[in-house]
Amino acid sequence: MHRTLKRETLRPPAATARAQQRVFDRFQREFNEERPHEALGQSTPAARDTASPRPYPTRLPALEYPAQCEVRRVSRNGDIRWRNPWVNVSHVLGEEYIAFDEIDDGLWQVYFGPVVLGRFHERLFAIEDEHGRLARHHRTSGNKSRKVLPMSSD
């Protein structure tokens, strides 16, 4: 399919982005509504498409966390305040709410909804990722600096 898409839409490319979009739209319409597909018993994808019976909300409900959790809103740049100093979480979670559940004295499990992001070490103002790597060097309210690790499994 990708080879066909390239051959029919990009060789040669259209002169403008708008013209190229029209070429892609024409290909999509032909591919889905006119061209029979062997894998679909020589019918078109549009003929086989059915609407999902599952209703989807127009807006996702707010995340709810257990009452014992400390909930913080992540800033646009990916930080939260913890007893005044800034702690980096991830810019990916900007403007979302995350929860901290204390699992030991000064050690907190960090959640985004049901997903465990890592463990926050309160004494270090650092979040340990799933591989046990601790953050170092990051700005705080004072002149201290701590480094931050991204919270991904990459």
Cβ contacts of 53 within 8 Å, gap of 6 or more? none
Higher local confidence (pLDDT), 147 or 83: 83
pLDDT at 92 exceeding the cut of 90: yes
pLDDT score at 34? 94
Percentage of the residues of the chain whose pLDDT score is greater than 70: 87
Higher local confidence (pLDDT), 147 or 25: 25
DSSP assignment string, 64-117: ---TTSEEEEPPTTSEEESSSSEEE--GGGTT-EEEEEEEETTEEEEEETTEEE
Report the alpha-carbon distance of residue 84 to residue 142 in Å, rounded: 10
Q: What is the pLDDT of residues 71-83, one digit of tens each?
A: 999 999 999 999 9
pLDDT score at 78? 94
